[in-house]
Amino acid sequence: KDPTGRGERAWQIMRRLPITEGEHAGKRIGDTAPPWMPRLVRLIFGHTDQAGLRLLREAFVVVSKKNAKTTFASAIGMTSLLLEEEARGFVAMLAENRPQARIAFENMVAMVRADEELGERFQIVDHRHTLRYPRTGSRATAIAADMASLVGFNPSVGIVDELHLLGATPKGAALVNQIRTGSVARKEPLLCSFSTAPTDRSAGIFESTMAKARRVIAGEEIDPRFFGWLCLIPDGLDPEDPANWFWSNPSL
């Protein structure tokens, strides 16, 4: 349900964002997006109460590689700013280390530079890995866990690319928990975590979040503020058989 049309507005913004790399460079996200993308965007932003307040506080998504996961994560950050629903919003793009954080930042910058209207709306502060959005006084910043400080860390939206890598570091886990528990000053705090399934067992915050997602999906835990979507090949099926790849590749 999308009682206020907020989810649809979010998708109409995202679908116009430019694709800047790969075989579809030069097109818009909406030109080539597989069905899961608009469905997920409408859910994240449009699952609201009658007053229009977002009900979801955390979304956890596991998909395999080659599903445009990093680009989609960056587009979520851009969309949240362009919705213009919070003054002085702070979108934190979290990554394990500086090179990974740089990828997230460069994805957003590439979108801005590829679109004249976006270029007029955003200011790029390259040395701070920050995009400023003057219309609402908001910003999006790429943050590496190994360089971050918890002091004053109060994002309105936190986006994690590869939670199984970020969560393996003590500071990375602390940053995620800070978003979960420390953003009470924000009207509608949101944490979106994206990850590929690790090939080996991943402990820590990824494992606990995965366990929670399984409980919620199975109906063993009721948490209306949490959404989990696990695209995994079921146990007992051959992961090397192409006939089973659609389980972990929603874009197929």
Q: Spell out where the chain has E strands.
A: 58-62, 90-95, 123-125, 130-133, 138-144, 157-161, 190-195, 226-230
Say what the pLDDT of residue 53 is: 84
Say what the pLDDT of residue 183 is: 60
pTM of the model: 0.90
How far is the CA of 219 from the CAs of 60, 68, 122, 214, in angstroms? 16, 29, 42, 9
Q: 175: how many CB neighbours lie within 10 A of its CB?
A: 26
Say what the pLDDT of residue 62 is: 92
Say what the pLDDT of residue 184 is: 61
Please classify residue 219 by burial: count the beta carbons closer than 10 Å to its beta carbon, then call 0-12 exposed, 13-18 middle and 19+ buried: exposed
Q: Is the dihedral of CA 160, 163, 167, 168 positive or negative?
A: negative
> What is the residue-level pLDDT of the chain in tens, covering all 252 positions?
788 899 999 999 999 999 998 888 899 999 999 999 999 999 999 998 877 888 899 999 999 887 788 889 999 999 999 998 889 999 999 888 888 888 888 999 999 999 999 999 999 998 888 999 999 999 999 888 877 666 667 888 999 888 888 877 777 788 888 788 766 667 888 999 998 876 555 558 888 899 999 999 999 999 999 999 999 999 899 988 999 989 988 888
